[in-house]
Chains A and B, each alone.
Chain A
Amino acid sequence: MVSYSKETQTPADTQTHTQAKPGCCVCVRACVAEEEEEEEEMADPKPAEDSQEEKADEEEKQEEVLPKELTEEEKMHLLNSEEFMAFFDRGSRIVERALSERVDVCFDYSGRDLEDREGEMQAGAKMSLSRVFSDERWSKNRVVTCLDWSPQYPELLVASYNSNDDAPHEPDGVALVWNMKYKKTTPEYTFHCQSAVMSAAFARFHPNLIVGGTYSGQIVLWDNRSNKRTSVQRTPLSASAHTHPVYCVNVVGTENAHNLISISTDGKMCSWNLDMLSQPQDSLELVFKQSKAVAVTSMAFPLGDVNNFVVGSEDGSLYTACRHGSKAGISDVFDGHHGPVTGLSCHSAGGPVDFSHLFISASFDWTVKLWTTKSTRPLYLFEDSCDYVYDVMWSPTHPALFACVDGSGRLDLWNLNNDTEVPSASVVVDGSPALNRVRWAHSGREIATGDSDGQVLVYDVGEKICVPKADEWTRFVHTLVEINENRDEGDELAAQRLLA
């Protein structure tokens, strides 16, 4: 017995359903034969409705004749078919997004009691938490190993995760694509692979592909056009490719001439063509002084450069290297850190002055250092942290701004034009989990960070901090000059002390 009276409805909240007056919902209510009884009980049913009801009843009787029952087997068969899966995947995605939206276009501002609206989060002048992305099944108990924002769709963010020790039967490697645009709390796409994913990136010139570097040394390629959650292409597990964990993958080049570069922790650098991952186009052993292989943990290409790059290694040293040419391989070594290098970032904010020779590195030794490719000694040392610094990244729009995250749950923003001793803005994540990765969105207005509990947190950065003014570049030039002077003075003093 179907009943449409108020009792069966969910408790009214902000929706504008008024009390059903008799005769309002004729189309819905009149359809069922049993409704007649209810209609009679209601006050003053108009005659017009009766005739409508009758017509509806007739239709209903006709309806009853038409639908046939499918057997359980037929139903299961249908539900398992390819077409259904494809359709359902698409349809359920749209419906979930629609369900999550709370916009009420029929809202009536006059005369209705409003329930308390959610107060808008106080947009802090500095940083405010915008979204937290976490999935009960796929991201819980896993560490976020890498983050990347999509170049084509600024709202998409891929996060890769390593294995879940509590769930040995689930795949070790997971990559989830999250969507900032909609309020839905489930990932846009879910991808798996058999080995823990250590790095992931959107393939820059292929909007549908996501590249992942895994712990086993395999590079996997996922395609969001396929209905599968597993990879569509994989590199072989052979000596020609990588046999050690791949922490760095990057697509460099231009639309017509690009390669996927991957470096594993045994120092092997391979360049691949995304169409064919069965063997690398080119490979190179990164060795320092003909003997020591470099255990690469991070890599960065300066803006606009496809040949020269910087790598950081497990023993704390930093090297510049180049891919092609007579001196392919490691070129220079920098003084480095006292612990493994966890993050490297080359200056990428284009502007009137070119700072692409600058890069910063983060390490387990609690410090972040500022370097220039023109000198092997660091330009500046940032010592504000009290824990391992796990990642660092220059802002893509502001020349003097960078972010770093450390193991105590702190996300710091440093503006070198304001102060080089302390961060300009700092926030500690709830619960102080170790933050493993930080990535600025391409707009430079949002910053995503991944923690050790499998959560990806996206912060909105206040305009005052992240939007560069026109003179930021020239101010940064002055800041660099000051830094240089300080460094030289510091060196002189140190030299004098040694002599004395």
Chain B
Amino acid sequence: MAEVEETLKRIQTHKGVIGTIVVNAEGIPIRTTLDNSTTVQYAGLLHQLTMKARSTVRDIDPQNDLTFLRIRSKKHEIMVAPGRSGSSPLVVQWHQSTCVFFLG
């Protein structure tokens, strides 16, 4: 448990990271360093996007699976590291005006 906190703290203090959010498989935030409204909003939106990305990968090749998703926009970069499909939590981080998102 303490290791999780330590790792989260380390990632959060990494250069350029603005925020970190941990969300579960249904998109419900568990841990966050951002304010509530942002957290809720992003959790929902990115959850859907990641689900879509994953289903796309799976449709193309059923034995394949999404391992990492990175969205680069002009202001932000979003990193999503999905877990195995099944219930694993979701972590969202901001990096360099980036949102990093672990999806379970």
Contacts and interface: CB of A to CB of B under 8 A. Distances in A.
Interface of A: 2, 4, 8-10, 15-18, 20, 24-25, 27-28, 31-32, 60, 63-64, 66-70, 75, 78-80, 83-85, 87-88, 90-92, 94-96, 98-99, 105-106, 186
A17 B4 contact: no
Contacts of B55: none
Interface in B12-67: 14, 16-18, 22, 24, 27-31, 35, 37-38, 40-41, 43-45, 67
Contacts of A17: 74-75, 97
Contacts of B88: 83-84, 87
A31 B16 contact: no
- Among B16, B31, B81, find the residue whose CB has the most chain A CB atoms closer than 10 A: B81
Nearest to B93: A95
Given A79-B30, A95-B81, A28 B37 contact: no
Nearest to A68: B28
B77 to A, nearest CB: 8
A352 to B, nearest CB: 46
A66 B48 CA distance: 12
Interface of B: 1, 4, 7-8, 10-11, 14, 16-18, 22, 24, 27-31, 35, 37-38, 40-41, 43-45, 67-68, 70, 72-76, 79, 81-84, 86-89, 91, 93, 95-97, 100, 102, 104
A84 B84 CA distance: 11
A4 B18 CA distance: 12
A83 B104 CA distance: 10
A79 B28 contact: no
B7 A92 contact: yes
Nearest to B86: A83
B30 A78 contact: yes
A8 B16 CA distance: 12
Given A10-B16, A63-B44, A88 B91 contact: yes
Contact of B83 (A70, A90, A98): A90
A64 B40 contact: yes
Contacts of B10: 96, 186
Nearest to B24: A78
Contacts of B82: 91
A82 B55 CA distance: 26
Contacts of A80: 1
B76 A28 contact: yes
A106 B104 CA distance: 28
Nearest to B76: A28
Nearest to B87: A83
Contacts of B87: 83
Nearest to B7: A92
A85 to B, nearest CB: 7
Given A64-B40, A88-B91, 15 more contacts: A8-B18, A18-B74, A28-B73, A67-B29, A70-B30, A75-B30, A78-B89, A79-B1, A83-B86, A87-B84, A87-B104, A91-B91, A92-B7, A95-B91, A96-B14
B31 A79 contact: yes
A75 B4 CA distance: 13
A451 to B, nearest CB: 24
A63 B11 contact: no
Nearest to A19: B74
Given A79-B1, A94-B68, A99-B14, A31 B43 contact: no
B96 A95 contact: no
9 contacts: A10-B97, A17-B74, A17-B97, A20-B75, A32-B37, A32-B38, A79-B30, A90-B83, A91-B82
A95 B31 contact: no
Contacts of A15: 96
A87 B25 CA distance: 12
Contacts of A91: 81-83, 91, 102
Contact of B74 (A25, A66, A88): A25
Closest 3 CB pairs between A and B? A87-B83, A87-B88, A91-B81
A95 B73 contact: no
B40 A63 contact: yes
Contacts of A98: 68, 70, 79
Contact of B100 (A18, A95, A186): A95
Given A10-B16, A83-B87, A70 B75 contact: no
Contacts of A84: 4, 88-89
A106 B18 contact: no
A32 B41 contact: yes
A83 B85 CA distance: 11
A105 B93 CA distance: 20
Contacts of B7: 88, 92
- Among A63, A66, A95, find the residue whose CB has the most chain B CB atoms closer than 10 A: A95
Nearest to A80: B1
A306 B35 CA distance: 63
Given A20-B75, A88-B7, A70 B28 contact: yes
Nearest to B22: A79
A9 B17 CA distance: 10
Contacts of A32: 37-38, 41
A81 to B, nearest CB: 9
Contacts of A186: 10
A106 B72 contact: yes
A16 B27 CA distance: 31
Contact of A95 (B4, B16, B79): B79
